[in-house]
Amino acid sequence: MFSVPTKTQYGIRALVHLARAESGSGARALATSAEIAAAESISPKYLEGIMTQLKTAGIVLAERGKGGGFRLARDPSLLRMLDVVEALEGEIQPVGCIENSSACAQEDGCLPRRFWIGLKAAIDDYLESKTLKDVIEAL
């Protein structure tokens, strides 16, 4: 069955942590990956890699030095969940033939391929329609 990778689950939890800290302070809150890891019960070393990916994608900003840490790069209402998922996992591909029909022995004659393309479109549309703000407001 389909499942969301652990890396994406942890990344979203880390972003929710930053967004909730921000909403309480009214400013862009800073938190170290160790603080987030402790609060969210995530391995600090694993989370550090996730935060690096989110930083590279421009989703979070990092400030070095004493009092440094990570903060959201933009308002949670502007952060699409599609951007988060793609930053951590790449483009969503339920099956390998979506972008390249020759990946399947049946190529363009494969009728289920249209189903998989529709599934990808539905997932992409849903993730594009949701923001981090939607996630934290659902709590």
d(CA 116, CA 71): 36
Residue 43 placed within a domain: yes
This prediction has a pTM of: 0.86
Q: What is the number of structural domains in the chain?
A: 1
Residue 93 placed within a domain: yes
CATH number at residue 49: 1.10.10.10
Domain enclosing residue 57, as ranges: 6-137
d(CA 90, CA 23): 29
Residue 90 placed within a domain: yes
Q: Inform me whether the pLDDT recorded for 25 exceeds 80.
A: no
Residue 38 placed within a domain: yes
Residue 1 placed within a domain: no
Length of the chain: 139
Residue 82 placed within a domain: yes
For residue range 96-117, list pLDDT tens digits in order: 777 766 667 666 677 888 888 8
Residues 6+ apart with CB under 8 A from 62: 51, 55, 68, 69, 70
- pLDDT for 114 equals 84
For residue range 42-99, list pLDDT tens digits in order: 999 999 999 999 999 999 999 988 878 999 999 999 999 999 999 999 988 888 777 7
